[in-house]
Amino acid sequence: MQIRKLNDLATLVSLSKRRGFVFQSSEIYGGLGSCWDYGPLGSLMKLNVKRAWWNAMTRRSDICGLDAAILMHPTVWKASGHIDGFSDPLVDCKDCKTRFRADNTDSYINEKKCPNCGSKNLSEPRNFNLMFKTHMGPVEDTGSVVYLRPETAQGHFVNFVNCQASTRYKIPFGIAAIGKSFRNEITPGNFIFRTREFEQMEMQYFVKPGTDEQWFETWKELRWGFYKKFGFKMENLRFHPHGPTELAHYAKAAFDIQYLFPMGWSELEGIHNRSNFDLTQHSKFSGKQLEYFDEPSKEKYVPFVIETAVGCDRMFLAFMCDAYREEVTMDDKGQEDVRVVLGFHPAIAPIKAAVLPLSKKPELTSVAEKLRDQLAEDFDVLYDESASIGKRYRRQDEIGTPYCVTVDFETLNDQAVTVRHRDTMKQDRVPIADLNQYVQVGMASWK
């Protein structure tokens, strides 16, 4: 058998639409640039991605959760440096009207030429802020301007004292959050890789100054371990250290975890040593003390912050790319038979088990429907009675369902069903009464 991996995003975009993972936003109106909707399977899977991350963070005894508002006091963005520094230098071509980035367009950097028409009739680079602006309240004047947050992290900083005081956590401790962020990206694209509206999963870990470098290493290891635990092929991941020109304005040190997407190695997650930049800035702009008092040593200090930041949509895409495989065999006539499989870790798979009656005869479908309800007590399940059993197995393989449960005529006698495993295609006979536990145990011990 030959295994083919994913080699272009178009295959995934098409599968996503056909099977209900991801649709283009406002498709019936021609779509809206770089915005995407998660469909019946995608919305389930996205919840699973978030749950995996959330549990990895907040089930630790030293990390609490937070769900901060998207709209924040405008001074937050002054303090954070986003109003002054969160921008890209843009150049306009006066001939073909193309607008492009001055800092990553080769034809401009080398020859001061438009990448589209080659003209040299260009504007000077102008800084374009990536934050989306809107107005709060009925009057649209400069005093009512608010921003859609470009990162969730600032919610953590402004709530540092609230979280510490209410949990009574001692340093080192962390705050984790999942939420929408917005950036008016100049070059969005590659499906859900870079969009203008996206979800972030960010954790800020507050540490004593001087211990930050050690915690930075620890969080690099912990985040690497997360991808390993959820079944990523580790050869598709690597660390990329930020050089001095890549470092964000707040960062003392930074590493990306990059993933080998079909378009090449690209950032999946960032791990940053943000020093005490943010808390110091918010203290200065708000006039509030954002310090930590260490009782045993009677020391007062502004903590340093180690941040782990990943896009939920980007992690979703990485999970899909990594899980996709085509198993190719030759049939008797020498024709290729292709089994498309999304080999997700069961915690990530949108559907854990599919219930498939062997025929549409009521004596089988009535048992199968009851079994669907029994499994749905514990798992996201799907019922399918149309087409041949072989076709139905293939449909489930393509959406990554780990278990297919077939109700056959023998079931009426032995009260047992056949469970077929997605990856090995091996089959087991399991009593109906034990089925939920069988799936539970199988998922927990999945390798």
Is 195:201 a contact under the CB 8 Å cutoff? no
- Cα distance between residue 312 and residue 211, in whole Å: 29
Of 114 and 268, nearer to ligand GAP (C-beta) is 268
Type of residue found at 70: I
Selection from 127, 137, 59, 71 nearest residue 99 by Cα: 127
Q: Are 237 and 271 in contact (CB under 8 A)?
A: no
Q: Minimum distance from CB of 90 to ligand GAP (Å)? A: 16
SS3 label, residue 260: strand
Query: Of the two residues 82 and 372, which places its CB atom closer to ligand GAP in the complex?
Result: 82
Residue 220 main-chain phi, psi, to 5 deg: -60, -45
Encode 366-427 in three state secondary structure.
HHHHHHHHHHHCCCCEEECCCCCHHHHHHHHHHHCCCEEEEECCCHHHHCEEEEEECCCCCE
The residue whose two tokens read 């798992």 is 379
By beta-carbon proximity to ligand GAP, the closer residue of 46 and 314 is 314
Q: CB 250 → ligand GAP: shortest distance, Å?
A: 8
Q: How far is the CB of 314 from ligand GAP (least distance, A)?
A: 4
Structure tokens at 125: 């680079």
When asked if residue 311 is in the footprint of ligand GAP (CB under 6 A), the reply is yes
CA gap 171, 187 in Å, rounded? 39
- What is d(CA 193, CA 262) in angstroms, rounded to the nearest whole number? 11
Q: Does 153 bind ligand GAP (CB under 6 A)?
A: yes
Decide: is 87 part of the binding site for ligand GAP (CB under 6 A): no
Q: Does 155 bind ligand GAP (CB under 6 A)?
A: no
Instruction: Give the footprint of ligand GAP on residues 96-125 (CB under 6 A).
Output: none
Judged by CB under 6 A, does residue 267 bind ligand GAP? yes
> In the bound complex, what is the minimum distance in angstroms from residue 164's beta carbon to ligand GAP?
20
The answer to whether 443 and 393 are in contact (CB under 8 A) is no
Q: Does 46 bind ligand GAP (CB under 6 A)?
A: no
Question: Is there binding between residue 313 and ligand GAP (CB under 6 A)?
Answer: yes
Which parts of 222-261 interact with ligand GAP (CB under 6 A)? Answer: none
Min dist CB 384 to ligand GAP, Å, is 33
Question: Of 212, 204, 222, 317, which Cα lies nearest the Cα of 263?
Answer: 317
178 is a site residue for ligand GAP (CB under 6 A) = no
Judged by CB under 6 A, the stretch of 197-205, 227-235, 276-284, 368-376 that binds ligand GAP is 197-205
The CB-of-150 to ligand GAP minimum distance in angstroms stands at 7
Q: Are 103 and 91 in contact (CB under 8 A)?
A: no
Pairwise CA distance, residues 246 & 256, whole Å: 11
Contact between 278 and ligand GAP per CB under 6 A = no
Scanning 239-247, 267-275, 335-343, 430-438 for contacts with ligand GAP by CB under 6 A, the matching segment is 267-275
Structure tokens that stand for 187 in this block: 């070059």
Cβ closest to ligand GAP, residue 222 vs residue 443: 222
* Minimum separation from the CB atom of position 194 to ligand GAP (A): 4
* Shortest distance (Å) from residue 131 CB to ligand GAP: 12
Instruction: Name which of 185 and 380 has its Cβ closer to ligand GAP.
Output: 185
Candidate segments 95-103, 141-149, 195-203, 420-428, binder of ligand GAP by CB under 6 A: 195-203
Compute how many residues bind ligand GAP; rule: CB under 6 A: 19
Please identify which residue in 172, 231, 262, 270 interacts with ligand GAP, judged by CB under 6 A: 270
For residues 61 and 170, is the Cβ–Cβ distance under 8 A?
no
Q: How far is the CB of 117 from ligand GAP (least distance, A)?
A: 27
Is there binding between residue 177 and ligand GAP (CB under 6 A)?
no
Smallest distance, ligand GAP to C-beta of residue 159, A? 15
> Closer to ligand GAP at the Cβ: 267 or 398?
267
Q: Which residue has the tokens 């019936």?
A: 28
Residue 259 burial (10 A CB sphere; 0-12, 13-18, 19+): buried
Site for ligand GAP in 288-307 (CB under 6 A): 307
- Per CB under 6 A, the segment of 15-23, 51-59, 87-95, 309-317 that binds ligand GAP is 309-317
* Residues from 132 through 151 that contact ligand GAP (CB under 6 A): 151
Residue 195 touching ligand GAP (CB under 6 A): yes
Sequence-distant contacts of 236-244: CB under 8 A, at least 24 apart:
236/260, 236/321, 236/322, 237/268, 238/265, 240/265, 240/267
Residue 43 structure tokens: 């919305």
Residue nearest to ligand GAP as judged by C-beta position: 311
Run of H or E residues at 435: helix 435-444
Interface contacts to ligand GAP, rule CB under 6 A: 151, 153, 183, 185, 194-195, 198, 200, 202, 267-270, 307, 309-311, 313-314
